[in-house]
Amino acid sequence: MKKKLSVPVVWKIAVRNLIEHKTKTLIIGAIVAVGMLVLILGNALLDTATAGIRENYIENFTGNVILSGKTEDGITFFPFEQMMSDSSESPITPDYFELKEYLDGSDMVASWSPLISGMATMMFSDDIMMPTQVFGVDIEKYREVFPDNMELLDGRLLTPGESGIMLSTTAVALFKQANGRSPEAGDMIELMAMTDRAGMKIDELPYVGSFTFRNAETNPMLPMICMTDYNSLRSMLGMNLAEETVLLSSEEESIIGDFADEEIFSSAGDSGGGLFADVMADEGTNTAETLFAEIGDRSDVESLYLEDSGEWNFVTVKLVGGVTSKAAIKAFTEDVSLSGWDIQVNNWIDGAGGQARMTYTLKTVFNIIILIIAVVAVIIIMNTLVVSITERIPEIGTIRAIGGRKSFVRKMIVSETFMITFVFGIIGILGAVLILAGLNAKGLHFENIFLRMLLGGSVLNPVISLKTLLLDLAGIVFIGGAASLYPTAVALRIRPVTAMQSN
Amino acid sequence: MTKKFLFTVFALLLAGGAALWAADSEPDFAAIMESMDMRSKFEGTDFSSRLTIITEDPEEGVEKQVLNQFRNDDADEFLMITLEPLSKKGQGVLIVEDNAWIYDPESRKFTHMSMKENYEDTDAKMNDFGATSYAEDYEVARYAEGKLGDYNVWIVEWEAINDEVPYPYVTAYIDKASELLLMTKEYSLSKRLLRSSYFLKYARIGEKYISTQMIFKDETMDNTKTTITISSVSLDEVDDSIFTKSYLERVNR
Amino acid sequence: MQIFKIALRNTSRQVRRTSLLSGAIAFGIMIIILLNSFTNGLTENVKENVSRALAGHIYITASEVTQGGIEVARVSDDGVILEAVESSGIEYTSVSHRTSFTGTLSLGSKKTEERVTGIDVAEEQMLLDSLVVKEGSIEAFLADGHSIILSEGLARSIRAEVGDEVLIRLVTQTGQNNLGEFTLGVILPDEGSFGSDRAYAHLGYVNELVNMPADASETINITLVDMEDTSEAALRLISELEKTVEIQDAAEQREAMMNSDGATGAVIDAMRDSMGIEDETDAEGEADNGQRGFGGGAPPMMGPAGRGGMFGAGITRSSLPPGTVTFKLNTIDDYTGAISQLVSTLNYIGYGVFAVLLLITMVGITNTYRMMMLERIKEIGTMRAMGVHRKQVRRIFLYEAGITAFIGAAAGLIVSLVIMLVTGLLSFPEAGDFTMLLDSGHPGYSMNPGVTVGLFIIIVLFSMLAASNPAGKAARVAPAEALRTTK
């Protein structure tokens, strides 16, 4: 009963104290408000950066988790970057069909889409050729994972099952240079690729439209990517071919491997017949005409083409909300190794390219700095509170001398602090919201590519969630309470008389 | 990937005429080299042959390619069609003067490239690819007699005359009886052995000799070598209709 | 003077208050100095690392036509350049000679292609000092003219360990095959996406391998005192060189210096180069054999020179008479679009941090002062009652505030220096993506003395200002009134 009563009494006293010591209240309040403001602005920038990176990478082209074939060299979605490193070709996702079932059945996976990433040369005219990066996609699945990553500039998107190409802005520019006009529906785009597997491949794909990735200005690789249906790109890169065995004649077989100089020129090691061989074609055997028979029948070649080879470079996975990449990577890695698949599970950042990693590094530095600022703000607030309470030691002594209980004093001071921090915390929040609104309205614009990547676009649109606001407020109120505990405890340890004497 | 393709084309062109020369009792190497160069040039001759190229690489294993080539050096015409591996069957390269076309039988499409720039930048001409220029490039530093397997050979050390010859130092093993080149050891500027070339078989074609079985061993890498075998050689006139795009299309039906 | 002494005595008597206040100030100052020095350090490190890796800020190459009519990238006579550097009056710290080639590194059956840079060890102490050694030692490298330094990724790709003999196959400038025999002396840790694969060898041996006279080099690199001066220095150098020698596309180069392009342009250029595609403006791309590309934005584009297309061995025939020499200038800006943006990003962050911290600290400190002054009204009353003049009272408090602030600031400075010193010793040899931000694997700080002095002044002034208002107010209060006040 007594306890119940004491609470309102303490609160009443606290409020009266605060009002009476108006100046002091305002002073402490001001630092709390400023601290709050800084915390919220810092958090807003962090949230914006996180959202920006999410928007620029995860929602734009990497998904949350990337599955690939095993490789030592690290993966990248951008073949140009690969060309610079020594790894020759993108790893290929094996065991695709089993993986497919696994992903469809996983409750962590919201959607997933396989991807082929390759390089081809666009032949616009005799003089204008352009090596380009091409994504080969199953457009239906791709749009499931990335419903909003492409901005159509002309024409339309690929439709499921359609064979065609969507040009990047750089490709469109070169097309214009070659033809003196923009590409139109019905134009054919010639592509050439050279690979070990398929040799020289040439294809013409109908122009479907031109597009740009959202926030393409944040990544110099993005404006260079064209998009085709996966079947066309697969066949360009020989990813639709069945394994071929090398058949050697016995004579050819005998030469394989190492040999000594002497040995190969001695009759024992020699294939026999001395230095001269008859290599002349028999009359009419190797002529223009005979080749028709040898090459013309392509049924054996046709048998090499697989309807669906299941070969992809990557599988991008978008996770169900609430599932972290970390958890998903752990689960996938376990399941993959259990199933014995030759698959590597990568975080989105691994495939996002060098620039993304640079941005991410920068973001880490940025986070640390904001954290330090927050800590500083908190410490300064605490210090102010400590000073204010230290100055009240005589007052505390007086209260104690006239019979105030320790618990009463403590409750009084803690409630005062709570009130100050709460009220001024809210004022700080209001100030921060005003500043953020101002920033959003004014639309701070920057050219710097890292700031663009970091903050999710060329215009700063800081965001802040209610959750963060409430957390910050709770945090500062808690800090206020905690900050007042220690000096109060110190003050209470002092005997009332001493406390009154000290100034 | 492109490199391998280039090597193929290069090897093919080179195979048109390898090492050969006429016999002479006195080792007048300068004369031998000169005649050998002369005889390696198939000027004004049509030529067709089949090439089997087997590459061994410890990383990539054994690969085999079979190609058919037709050339008319006089008219600067060249056609190459792949027969093996199956995945590349029917793919062709056609070069007529400064124009090159690549043909993909699967899509039945050509792509055109101008060769002009390349020729201007390099000092290579179509005729040069198959021909040797030993007399122009090398002088004999010293020679000795020796034995290579069953063959009695001259062992001749060549040194490059100018600083543009790809292999500055070459030791050539020349069969005394036929005066054909059996083996060369090619050294770098720093006199390290880079490549051993073996010319195991020869064919005499008219006035010319052509090596029909060659092995090129990369001495800087373990177990890396390329074997080129030439067969079905013909000096019959190659019909001009072969050096056309439509031939490439027709042959692939 | 008397008043100053009283103030001093006051501060020393009130230990708790003084220490609380100056502690707060010290902390604020410490953090400001630390963070400011840290962000400055990041910027400096990035700049340093880039200019080290690229060996300076301005790169001069020359294309010479040999007797055989082949165009080679070679500076045979550096005298004319050194003279121009002197007479142009640009402020530089060093000039270094480098030659590089792209070759196939092999060990057993493993091979990889990479650009190897020959450095003159006498000129490149800075670079050598900055290298973080993972295995082997720089001494071993210095002792052996055939020694080579490889980054970890490269060494791994050919499974090489320190002490192994690495063969490098290359083609000389005039097209001769050559083979270098190197001993792996040092393995460097990978630098993540910032650094490209790196391979360094001795200039003498590299020159020998590419068949270049010992005293020639492919490029002459100039490191400026200040990277910001690059464009201007390059322009001056072009004007100076133009007086004596032929500069290739001087007008065009001037233009380029004036609007150095961003990352995208660099990527496209690098791409075109690597694919052997050349536009008209870059027709003489061969001389541009410098260290192309850096980091993610303008990625390293290695590989044999773009010339020669399908069949050539990368040799360029020139129609110019033998002996013709054409010089060309490149600057760090040509390669570091992304990096300079990174630097300015770090700068922005640094300024922002500085401003915010200063604001918080100032508000915190002035508030504390004002509060303390209020608490001391009684004390002021006592002093006034004892006959101390208003002005004197005010001064006592002002000085007190100033002294406390100064002590705090000094303590903060000392603590921050100690922290910088200690954390500067921390070593992160394998920092991956962060390597670019570090100074040879250590966190680098760069304290701006001007900023520090300014901070001191600001802190002391603000503290005095914060004290002056309440002190004045208190001093105006009638002594008896003040004594009764219980704020």
Q: Are residues A485 and A401 in the same domain?
A: yes
CA dihedral in degrees (C230, C235, C236, C241; nearest 10)?
120
A367-380, pLDDT tens digit by residue? 777 777 777 777 77
Reduce the DSSP state of residue A360 to 3 states and report it.
helix
How many Å apart are CA C43 and CA C464, to the nearest integer? 34
Q: Do C353 and A353 touch (CB under 8 A)?
A: no
What is the predicted pLDDT for the residue at A227? 93
CA dihedral in degrees (A298, A299, A301, A302; nearest 10)?
120
Nearest-Cα distance to chain A for B65, in Å, is 9
Q: Which two tokens stand for residue A161?
A: 């099952």
Nearest-Cα distance to chain A for B142, in Å, is 21
Among C106, C312, C317, beta carbon nearest to B221: C106
Beta pairing, strands A165-167 & A199-213 = parallel
Reduce the DSSP state of residue A167 to 3 states and report it.
strand
Q: Are residues A165 and A32 in the same domain?
A: no
Reduce the DSSP state of residue A219 to 3 states and report it.
coil
Q: What is the mean pLDDT of residues A338-364?
A: 77
Residues 219-238 of B with CB under 8 A from A: 223, 227, 229-234, 236, 238
Encode C200-214 in three state secondary structure.
Answer: EEEHHHHHHHCCCCC
Q: Are residues A8 and A145 in the same domain?
A: no
Encode A364-399 in three state secondary structure.
Answer: HHHHHHHHHHHHHHHHHHHHHHHHHHHCCHHHHHHH
CATH assignment at residue B132: 2.50.20.10
Q: Which residue of B has its CA nearest to A122?
A: B111
Does residue A269 or residue A172 have the better pLDDT?
A172
Extended beta strands in A170-241, E state: 188-195, 199-213, 225-229
Who's near B246: CB < 8 A, 6+ residues apart?
A: none
* Neighboring chain A residues of C360 at a CB cutoff of 8 Å: 34-35, 38, 373, 376-377, 380
Q: Is C23 on the interface with A (CB under 8 A)?
A: yes
What is the predicted pLDDT for the residue at C312? 34
Q: Are residues A324 and A370 in the same domain?
A: no
- At A503, the pLDDT band (50, 70, 90 cuts) reads very low
Residue A278 resides in a domain: no
Residue A376 resides in a domain: yes
Q: What is the mean pLDDT of residues C166-189?
A: 87
Q: Among A293, A316, A341, identify where a domain stops.
A: A341
pTM for this structure?
A: 0.71
Q: Are residues A185 and A327 in the same domain?
A: yes
What is the predicted pLDDT for the residue at A90? 57
Q: Residue B9 — φ and ψ, nearest 5°?
A: -60, -45
Q: Are residues A323 and A424 in the same domain?
A: no
Q: Is B2 on the interface with A (CB under 8 A)?
A: yes
Residues 112-151 of A with CB under 8 A from B: 123, 126-127
Which residues, listed in sequence order, are joined to residue B204 by a DSSP beta bridge? B209
Query: What is the secondary structure of C78-112 as a DSSP string?
Result: -HHHHHHHHHHT--EEEEEEEEEEEEEEEETTEEE
Q: Is B200 on the interface with A (CB under 8 A)?
A: yes
Q: Do B223 and C179 touch (CB under 8 A)?
A: no
Give the structural domain span for A175: 71-243+308-341
Residue A252 resides in a domain: no
Q: Which two tokens stand for residue C266?
A: 């660099």
Q: Would the ipTM clear 0.85, i.e. be above it?
A: no
Nearest-Cα distance to chain C for A365, in Å, is 9
* Neighboring chain C residues of A354 at a CB cutoff of 8 Å: 193, 295-297, 299
Residues 258-287 of A with CB under 8 A from C: none
Who's near A430: CB < 8 A, 6+ residues apart?
A: none
- Which subunits sit against B, judged by 3+ Cβ pairs under 8 A? A, C
Mutate to test the interface with A, among B2, B72, B98, B106 (most CBs of A within 10 A): B106
Residues in chain B: 253
Overall domain count for chain A: 2
Q: Are residues A174 and A217 in the same domain?
A: yes
What is the predicted pLDDT for the residue at C358? 74
Q: Are residues A41 and A125 in the same domain?
A: no
What is the predicted pLDDT for the residue at C194? 47
For chain C, give the mean pLDDT. 73
What is the predicted pLDDT for the residue at B98? 78
A308 within 8 A of B103, measured Cβ to Cβ:
no
C61-99, pLDDT tens digit by residue? 888 888 777 788 888 888 888 888 888 888 888 888 888
Among A265, A292, A304, beta carbon nearest to B87: A304
Q: Is C472 on the interface with B (CB under 8 A)?
A: no
Q: Is B127 on the interface with C (CB under 8 A)?
A: no
Q: Is A384 on the interface with C (CB under 8 A)?
A: yes
* Neighboring chain C residues of A384 at a CB cutoff of 8 Å: 24, 364, 367-368, 371
Q: Do A244 and B107 touch (CB under 8 A)?
A: no
Q: What is the mean pLDDT of residues A111-130?
A: 83
What is the predicted pLDDT for the residue at C256? 57
Q: Do A275 and B62 touch (CB under 8 A)?
A: no
Q: Are residues A336 and A366 in the same domain?
A: no
C356-377, pLDDT tens digit by residue? 777 777 777 777 676 666 667 7
Q: Do B121 and C316 touch (CB under 8 A)?
A: yes
Residue A447 resides in a domain: yes
Overall domain count for chain B: 1
Alpha helices, DSSP H, located in C318-428: 337-375, 377-385, 390-425
What is the predicted pLDDT for the residue at A96? 84
Q: Is B3 on the interface with C (CB under 8 A)?
A: no
Give the structural domain span for B67: 2-251
* Neighboring chain A residues of B110 at a CB cutoff of 8 Å: 202
Q: Mark the ranges of chain B whose per-residue pLDDT is less than 50.
A: 1-25, 117-129
Q: Is C299 on the interface with A (CB under 8 A)?
A: yes
* Neighboring chain B residues of C66 at a CB cutoff of 8 Å: 163
Nearest-Cα distance to chain B for A132, in Å, is 16
In this structure, which amino acid lies at residue A316? T
Q: Are residues A323 and A419 in the same domain?
A: no
Q: Is A293 on the interface with B (CB under 8 A)?
A: no
